[in-house]
Amino acid sequence: MRFSAINLGCKVNAFETESVAGMLEQRGHTRVEPDEDSDACLIFTCAVTNTAAAKSRQMIHRMRKRNPDAVLVVAGCYAQIDPAALKTADVLVGNAHKMNIPDYIDSFRENHIRISEPSETDRPPFEPMTVDRFEHQTRAYLRIQDGCNQFCTYCIIPYARGRERSMDPDMAVREAVRLSRSHHEIVLTGIHTGRYGREHGVTLAQLMKRILHEADDLQRLRISSIEITELDDEFVELMKNEPRIARHLHIPLQAGSDRILELMHRPYDTNAYYNRMEEIRNAVPDLSVSCDLMTGFPTETDEDHQDALAFLRKCRFSFMHVFPYSMREGTAAAAMKQQVPSQVKKQRTADCIALSQELYDAYKTSWLNRSADVMCETVQDGWTRGYTSQYIPVKIEGEFESGSMVRTDLTALRDHQVYGKRHV
């Protein structure tokens, strides 16, 4: 059987896509590109915004038209939130039965009876999905956590993913050790990674400590994202003393206005966020901090926007992921009055993206004439591309093996790109 697999969502969705694709390949099936003829098409959907849901519907329609006789599998958050809207799927799977997808495909190909398996509970068990190897990637992802209990007013994810749950710590360590044999950098990921292990009586820091102790081949351990309220003293102390932990933290902010943060139901204000971030920076030298930022949340005024710009500049983020608020039906924010006009959101987003580029160039400039360890990824035309521990992309003069760590002198910044030479 030939199959294609398409991910339309986050890093967790991407991990799950690769895991199911790997299961199918282990059964002898062949993965092909989405634009090729196939016997089965898997689409892992996203529902974080109405726009994401619309893109999921468009992809489903496109793939059905492209391969009308293929088994159409629709999985993920949109399949969980609105299964009634996806009746064209031959196999519909929410967020609790993805490991059964290969069996569901076999069943449908045999008897042509539609299968619909959205999760029936908001507390599904943790599915211990794995990926044998991330082809063409030097870094591996390990999903150790799923679900969210926070219920921010703009977010559908707690309804789509269910409540928090975590991978068994022994299994997580075994998977990290296995992945480290073929990938020298591992990224721990989840919907709420910082809240890992609470049902097991284990903290994220304790898991990381075990991984670093047992994975001898591992050169760098990275966290995909973590909330400011979850960066406790235990985590910071481990990061301070363990150089293999990446010197980059992606800490969601979402808004730079206290009034908007309260409306979002975020568990901090700007003062608490800033003070904790500075404490961590003082403890961990050369730390890079990035964030998520949402513009145009309902009721946001020009004054709120200006407050946010001032706060973002004060925080000295290395870079920001900026996106306009997009209404999601079923969330509290969707029912709020005074929705911000799209043109205003577009302008505020542009303002923040411009500031992000300014801050990013300033941060990269601060690294010039210094040395850093670069994990090499791709080689082309006499140059090697890779990332520092701080997640600075670097082009190194010369060709070096993918997956190797090269001590590099950072020499120049041109058109937002850092260049370097091997340190001698």
Count of structural domains within the chain: 4
Q: With respect to residue 233, please indicate whether it lies within any of the assigned structural domains.
A: yes
The residues facing 249 across adjacent strands are: 289
User: Do residues 53 and 145 both lie within one domain?
Assistant: no
The pLDDT confidence band at residue 85, using thresholds 50, 70 and 90, is confident
User: Do residues 213 and 237 both lie within one domain?
Assistant: yes
Q: Judge whether residue 178 has pLDDT over 90.
A: yes
Q: Tell me the CB-side half-sphere exposure of residue 62, using CA atoms within 13 A.
A: 12
User: Do residues 315 and 393 both lie within one domain?
Assistant: no
CATH number at 388 reads: 2.40.50.140
Quick one: tokens of 334? 């969707």
User: Do residues 240 and 131 both lie within one domain?
Assistant: yes
CA–CA dist 327, 29 (Å, integer): 39
Q: What is the pLDDT of residue 398?
A: 97
The predicted model gives 328-340 an average pLDDT of 93
| Percent of the chain residues past pLDDT 70, beyond the cut | 99
Burial of 274 (0-12, 13-18, 19+ CB in 10 A): middle
Which one has a higher pLDDT value, 142 or 128? 142
| Percent of the chain residues past pLDDT 90, beyond the cut | 86
The predicted model gives 115-124 an average pLDDT of 78
Q: What digits encode the pLDDT tens for the residues 54-77?
A: 999 999 999 999 999 999 999 999
User: Do residues 152 and 238 both lie within one domain?
Assistant: yes
Q: With respect to residue 252, please indicate whether it lies within any of the assigned structural domains.
A: no
Q: What digits encode the pLDDT tens for the residues 194-227?
A: 999 999 999 999 999 999 999 999 999 999 999 9
Q: What is the pLDDT of residue 87?
A: 87
The pLDDT confidence band at residue 308, using thresholds 50, 70 and 90, is very high
Q: What digits encode the pLDDT tens for the residues 87-106?
A: 899 999 988 889 999 999 99
Q: Which amino acid is at 279?
A: E
User: Do residues 301 and 337 both lie within one domain?
Assistant: yes
Q: With respect to residue 251, please indicate whether it lies within any of the assigned structural domains.
A: no
Q: With respect to residue 204, please indicate whether it lies within any of the assigned structural domains.
A: yes
Pick the closest to residue 19 from 130, 143, 100 (CA basis).
Answer: 130
CA–CA dist 406, 54 (Å, integer): 43
Q: Judge whether residue 304 has pLDDT over 80.
A: yes
Domain boundary among 322, 349, 366: 366
Q: What is the pLDDT of residue 121?
A: 64
Show the domain range for 80.
2-117
Quick one: tokens of 289? 């901090």
User: Do residues 347 and 374 both lie within one domain?
Assistant: no
CATH number at 359 reads: 3.30.750.200
CATH number at 52 reads: 3.40.50.12160
Q: What digits encode the pLDDT tens for the residues 257-285?
A: 999 999 999 999 999 999 999 999 999 98
Helix (H, G, I), strand (E, B) or coil at 100: helix
CATH number at 187 reads: 3.30.750.210
Q: Judge whether residue 111 has pLDDT over 90.
A: yes
CA–CA dist 368, 380 (Å, integer): 23
Q: Judge whether residue 293 has pLDDT over 70.
A: yes
Q: With respect to residue 25, please indicate whether it lies within any of the assigned structural domains.
A: yes
Supply the mean pLDDT for the chain. Answer: 94
Q: What is the pTM of this model?
A: 0.91
Q: Which amino acid is at 285?
A: P
- Give the other-Cβ count within 10 Å of 400's Cβ: 19
Q: Judge whether residue 133 has pLDDT over 80.
A: no
User: Do residues 381 and 329 both lie within one domain?
Assistant: no
User: Do residues 182 and 76 both lie within one domain?
Assistant: no
User: Do residues 132 and 242 both lie within one domain?
Assistant: yes
Quick one: tokens of 95? 């967020």
Q: Which of 123-127, 177-181, 413-417 has the lowest mean pLDDT?
A: 123-127
Quick one: tokens of 218? 């591992």
- Helix-helix angle 204-214:233-241, to 10 degrees: 20
Q: With respect to residue 88, please indicate whether it lies within any of the assigned structural domains.
A: yes
User: Do residues 345 and 389 both lie within one domain?
Assistant: no
Helix (H, G, I), strand (E, B) or coil at 72: strand
- Helix-helix angle 101-111:11-26, to 10 degrees: 60
User: Do residues 62 and 144 both lie within one domain?
Assistant: no
The predicted model gives 385-409 an average pLDDT of 97
Q: With respect to residue 199, please indicate whether it lies within any of the assigned structural domains.
A: yes
Reduced 3-state DSSP string for 255-269 = CCCHHHHHHHCCCCC
Domain boundary among 181, 213, 246: 246
Domain boundary among 192, 224, 246: 246
Q: What is the pLDDT of residue 134?
A: 80
* 91 and 44 Cβ atoms separated by less than 8 Å: no
Reduced 3-state DSSP string for 135-161 = CCCCEEEEECEECCCCCCCCCCHHHHH
Q: Please, where are the H alpha helices in 181-291?
A: 204-214, 233-241, 258-264, 270-283
Q: With respect to residue 29, please indicate whether it lies within any of the assigned structural domains.
A: yes
